[in-house]
Amino acid sequence: MTLNELNNIPWHDKDIEAIDAYYTSDKNEDSVEYDGDNCESILTNLGWCKIGDGAFSDVYVRDDYPYVLKLSRRPDTTFAKFAIISRKNKNKHFPMIGNGKIIKIGKCRYVAYLIEKLYDLESSKVSLMSEILTRISNRAANGFDRSAIVIHSIPETLIDAAVIIGKCAKLINANIDLHSQNIMKRADGTIVISDPYVDSKRIVGRVR
């Protein structure tokens, strides 16, 4: 997919429509049932281990599975749109993300994604990489031509990935969020941008 084709992406893919329809059926979209301790207990008994949490989601892993489980307890159509971007690009610096599914664990409802298992980038590299990729993405979001963005210290394919993230940000009404935890690597060392956006409408007032 080329940058000129980004406007033709069907952003309202089936998984996004399902998520939106599910949450907008409630008068208050943030009234989703949530009992994190019970959920973690159930998943722990099934062999999963929680390795991360954020404002909207938790991430679980099993040693014997090549993917992680991301559970979102609030609408997260921004991530759903990034999943589409990652599928429609052959860029190796985007993760493999499965379709979003609405599941029930105990009494709680979640949007679930299976994502390829990634690993933390070395602390000596990740801060600088975060700074560089954020700068590239912001330039792209502000209309810089790709040919004007040249940084010799990182691969061209990684620059392309950051440019796509920047170009897409306005299209999906998202803010770029390339902090250190969102830049990871595969077992072979390939750098992967795992979750580069935050919904521009949800920056303020995010609560767990």
Which CATH number goes with the domain that contains 87? 3.30.200
Is the same domain home to 79 and 93?
Answer: yes
Is the same domain home to 106 and 153?
Answer: no
Is the same domain home to 8 and 108?
Answer: yes
Q: Report d(CA 151, CA 136) in Å as an integer.
A: 9
Q: Is residue 207 part of a domain?
A: no
Is the same domain home to 126 and 113?
Answer: no
**Of the residues 86, 103, 118, the one at which a domain ends:** 118
Helix, strand, coil shares, percent, the chain, to 5:
40, 20, 40
Torsion over CA: 55, 140, 184, 15 (sign): positive
Average per-residue pLDDT for the chain: 79
Is the same domain home to 61 and 80?
Answer: yes
What tokens were used for 183? 């830049």
Give the type of residue at 55: A
How many domains is the chain built from? Answer: 2
Any residues with CB less than 8 A from the CB of 205 and at least 6 apart, and which? Answer: none
Is the same domain home to 180 and 113?
Answer: no
Is the same domain home to 65 and 147?
Answer: no
Task: Pick left, alpha or beta for residue 59 (phi over 0 → left; psi -120 to 50 → alpha; otherwise beta).
Answer: beta
Is the same domain home to 124 and 114?
Answer: no
**Of the residues 90, 118, 146, the one at which a domain ends:** 118
Nearest CA to 69 out of 44, 48, 90 is that of 48
Whole-number pLDDT of residue 182: 93
Nearest CA to 54 out of 198, 184, 170, 193 is that of 198
Is the same domain home to 62 and 17?
Answer: yes
- The tens digit of pLDDT for each residue in 11-44 reads 344 545 554 554 445 444 444 455 566 888 888 9
Whole-number pLDDT of residue 8: 46
Whole-number pLDDT of residue 116: 92
Q: Report d(CA 58, CA 52) in Å as an integer.
A: 6
Whether pLDDT at 94 is above 50: yes
* Sheet hosting strand 119-120, strand order edge to edge: 119-120, 183-185, 191-193
**Of the residues 118, 143, 164, the one at which a domain ends:** 118
Domain limits at 113?
3-118
The stretch 193-199 carries a mean pLDDT of 92
- SS3 category, 185: strand
Q: Report d(CA 74, CA 109) in Å as an integer.
A: 9
Give the type of residue at 89: N
- Report if pTM > 0.85: no
